[in-house]
Amino acid sequence: MVIPQLAHATELTGPTAPTPVETPSVGDISININGPGGAPSTSVVVLIGITLLSIAPALLLMMSSFTKIFVVLAMTRNALGLPTIPPNQVLAGLSLFLSLFIMWPVLNTINVDAVQPFMAGSIDFNAAIHLAAGPLKTFMLAHTREDDIALMTRAANMPNPASPDAVSMVTLIPSFMISELRAAFIIGLVIFVPFLIIDLVVASGLMAMGMMMLPPVMIALPFKILLFILVDGWGLIITALVQSYNGSG
């Protein structure tokens, strides 16, 4: 007779108590955008650079001498009777480099006081923006009329600023643009007058000779170009534009 083996029963143990889960504290997650030594990381610098490039045309038009120079050069071209010569690309390029030449002291101050300390990690982004806005604000205030600032202040239903430093950028930028356009039109009017006199003299001469079918503009164009060359017109205009910003840096 075969006797089955008896299995030894294993002693059972009770359930193990669960391990308590630590509750994360609020605010213990931080994002560090700085690189070694506290300087901004390369990705942050690239992001800021792309952002500045995207708004660079607006900054160039609204906060520099570009608009005034371009308007004066375009009005000079129209006064000569050459609506497409020089082309807009040439005028825009000349205006750009003249603007860089005029505003180089301002750009150098921004680079020394704001950009380089931010790249070195000495200041944060907000401090860099505040330091960079200072030289631009000084430049615009130096070439903005008080009447234009008062106009924009009244349009915004804001109280009059106690001092030039109290003028906000929201009010200063359109005021600066209005002042620049006004100055550009004044210079353009002065340029137009001698060429208008040449047109009147040529038209009167043609009418006196009975040549009414001949376009006066065609006859006056060589005389206007000759006058412009003899007085070194481009040199006079560019010199006047650059000197109008003297002491701004």
Task: Report yes or no: 140 and 103 within 8 Å, Cβ to Cβ.
Answer: no
- Mean pLDDT of the region 160-181: 82
pLDDT at 35 over 80: no
Cis bond before residue 15 (omega within 30° of 0): no
Is residue 193 included in any domain, yes or no?
A: yes
Residues contacting residue 120 through CB under 8 Å, at least 6 positions apart: 39
Is residue 231 included in any domain, yes or no?
A: yes
Cα–Cα distance measured from residue 116 to residue 245, given in angstroms and rounded to the nearest whole number = 26
Helix (H, G, I), strand (E, B) or coil at 143: coil
Is residue 4 included in any domain, yes or no?
A: no
Q: pLDDT tens across 214-249, in order? A: 777 777 788 888 888 888 888 888 888 888 887 543
Is residue 20 included in any domain, yes or no?
A: no
Residue 16's pLDDT band (cuts 50, 70, 90): low
* Amino acid at the residue 9: A
Q: What percentage of residues in the chain have a pLDDT greater than 70?
A: 73
Residue 89's pLDDT band (cuts 50, 70, 90): confident
Q: How far apart are the first and last CA of the chain?
A: 117
- pLDDT at residue 25 in the model: 52
Is residue 9 included in any domain, yes or no?
A: no
pTM recorded for the entire structure: 0.71
The upper half-sphere exposure of residue 241, i.e. CA atoms within 13 Å in the direction of its Cβ, equals 31
Per-residue DSSP letter, 248: -
Residue 38's pLDDT band (cuts 50, 70, 90): low
Is residue 145 included in any domain, yes or no?
A: yes
Structural domains counted in the chain:
1
Is residue 230 included in any domain, yes or no?
A: yes
Q: Which of 25-29, 77-81, 154-158 has the highest mean pLDDT?
A: 77-81
Q: Which of 50-54, 63-67, 117-121, 212-216 has the highest mean pLDDT?
A: 63-67
Is residue 11 included in any domain, yes or no?
A: no
Task: Report yes or no: 217 and 77 within 8 Å, Cβ to Cβ.
Answer: no
Task: Report yes or no: 108 and 140 within 8 Å, Cβ to Cβ.
Answer: no
Q: Which of 70-74, 139-143, 206-210 has the highest mean pLDDT?
A: 70-74
Domain that holds residue 115: 38-74+82-243
pLDDT at 31 over 60: no
Cα–Cα distance measured from residue 109 to residue 101, given in angstroms and rounded to the nearest whole number = 14
